[in-house]
Amino acid sequence: MASAKPNQKRDMIGRLPTGGYREVVNVAWPIVLSMLSYTFMGVADTLLVGQLGAREVAAVGLGTVAMFAVISFGWGMLDAVKVVVAQAHGAGDETRTISATMQGIALSVASGALILLILPLGPPLLRALGGSGEATRLARDYFVPRLFGALPMLASIAAFGYFQGHGDTRTPMRLQIAANLLNVALDLVLIFGLGPIPALGVAGAAWATVIALTLQAVAALALFFRATTGRRKFEWSGVRRLIDVGLPMGLRFFLDVLSWALFTGFIARYSEAHLAAHTIVVRVISVSFLPGRGIGDAGSILVGHAVGAGRFDRARIVVRRATIVAATLMGGFGVLFLSAGGAVVGLFTRAPEVIELGRKLMLIAAAFQVVDAIVMVKSGALNGEGDTRFVMLSSALSSWLLLLPLGYLFCAHWRMGAHGAWLALTAQIVVLAAVSAWRWERRRADEAQAIEARARRPLLKRKRASQAAS
């Protein structure tokens, strides 16, 4: 596959980004399409499992939250491969791009093996998230198989980071789309059964995803090793840099997912109908969230190239254009959610109560689309620059000091259910948007001062030399 070689011109955006709309879109659209295909996989799982009943939908939602809580740290940590590769590529250090990817692959194997040790903790974890009785048993049937997909998922993230860091976002896109299409085909067979293959229900949905992820990882690793033939070198000296960037990203993802799990637990304890509506609407709005996240990731890559090349001015242009693209796209989805939210929720369930609850959640989701776009682009830019600790702190503090207290107050104490919880979510997004925008502007000011200081140095040297001569 020629597209798997980042040194080929058509797959590279160059070491120094121009910051134009076309460049942002060219890097972003394969990421967006990849994430949409992943979303389609989740939506297909929910649609197909929804034919079994609302309890099964709630169980898959609970099992998915538990699964991400377990793998979130490794996922976030390995996402740093993309950042380190992008900065090394911008600096022209191709040896470092390969070594950082190999370090990421080694970390993915170790993380995947450790995650399997959590298997016995599945039922207690699901009960802690608010599951009970039959819903917990069904969620366990989904959660346990999905853990076996952790290693291939993490290995894919590391290998994808090599290509994405170079600006080749198309190779990961092709592999993800193929894997997601395979997952849907396997869903039909394993959930409902076919011929001698028995119907496995929610467990079938989980095993379909694991098989698809395993084949995706094998293909991604094969393409990476092919693209780096004769140039592979593992350097321990670069591990610290990967950890410095990745540790805050891993902690952020873990704390975000854990807070989301507790947040979902508030809703789960309120009622199964509210949990089912919440699960469905989360799946639906991921159609807008993940493309926005994809544009943020594209901005992160381009900012990494600019920072690696020492051109923060280009990074500013990239972020401005990426923000406009993301806000336009997500704002359009917000209009759709506002006008047809109930009809969309009705595609996932026949239960009138769940449809009405979901319709109201869609109205809340429509209100924060544009603000969420700002959060994703600014956070992605800060990550691409290497300011991952601030992103982690702002996200963690807003989750644990704002989302969870307000979520509990609105959902459980004031008995507003899922709607109250989502109002708390809206408040968190607004605060994060303001804080992220402030931090990015602050970084711009700091860089401007640094540039001015560098420009004054030759003048000061000439002045001192003149004074010494006189």
- The pLDDT value given to residue 319: 93
Which pair of tokens denotes residue 253?
């993802």
How many helices (H) does the chain have, and how many strands (E)? 17, 0
CB 28 within 8 Å of CB 298: yes
Residue 305 lies in a domain: yes
Better-predicted residue by pLDDT, 366 or 43: 366
Better-predicted residue by pLDDT, 362 or 48: 362
The 3-state secondary structure of 319-330 reads HHHHHHHHHHHH
The string of pLDDT tens digits covering residues 272-292 is 889 889 988 998 888 788 888
Tally of domains in the chain: 1
**Residue 433 burial (CB count, 10 A):** 21
- The pLDDT value given to residue 281: 92
Task: Return the beta strands (E) in 125-240 as ranges.
Answer: none
Residue 470 lies in a domain: no
- The pLDDT value given to residue 14: 45
| Cα–Cα distance for residue pair 3/7, rounded to 1 Å | 9
Of 41, 64, 59, residue with least CA distance to 188: 41
For the ranges 49-53, 76-80, 260-264, 286-290, the one whose mean pLDDT is highest: 76-80
- The pLDDT value given to residue 424: 96
The string of pLDDT tens digits covering residues 122-160 is 777 777 666 566 667 788 888 888 889 999 999 999 999
Residue 465 lies in a domain: no
Of 139, 132, 106, 223, residue with least CA distance to 175: 223
The string of pLDDT tens digits covering residues 60-81 is 877 877 887 788 888 889 999 9
> Is the pLDDT assigned to residue 465 strictly greater than 70?
no
| Cα–Cα distance for residue pair 153/213, rounded to 1 Å | 6
Please, what is the end-to-end C-alpha distance for the chain in angstroms? 67
* 203-211 mean pLDDT: 90
Q: What is the DSSP string of 136-154?
A: HHHHHHHHHHHHTTHHHHH
Residue 104 lies in a domain: yes
- The pLDDT value given to residue 13: 41
Residue 328 lies in a domain: yes
> What pTM value is reported for the model?
0.78
| Cα–Cα distance for residue pair 182/179, rounded to 1 Å | 5
**Residue 453 burial (CB count, 10 A):** 10
Residue 160 lies in a domain: yes
Residue 206 lies in a domain: yes
Which pair of tokens denotes residue 138?
């069904």
Query: What residues make up the domain containing 370?
Result: 11-452
SS3 at position 103: helix
Residue 233 lies in a domain: yes
Mean pLDDT of the chain: 84
> Is the pLDDT assigned to residue 422 strictly greater than 90?
yes
CB 184 within 8 Å of CB 191: no
Better-predicted residue by pLDDT, 331 or 466: 331
The string of pLDDT tens digits covering residues 171-193 is 999 999 999 899 989 989 998 88
**Residue 281 burial (CB count, 10 A):** 25
| Cα–Cα distance for residue pair 42/180, rounded to 1 Å | 9
Q: Is 335 exposed, middle or buried (0-12, 13-18, 19+ CB in 10 A)?
A: exposed
Beta bridge partners, 194, equal 197
Q: Report in angstroms the alpha-carbon separations of 141 from 64, 119, 136.
A: 11, 12, 9
What single-letter amino acid sits at 211?
Answer: I
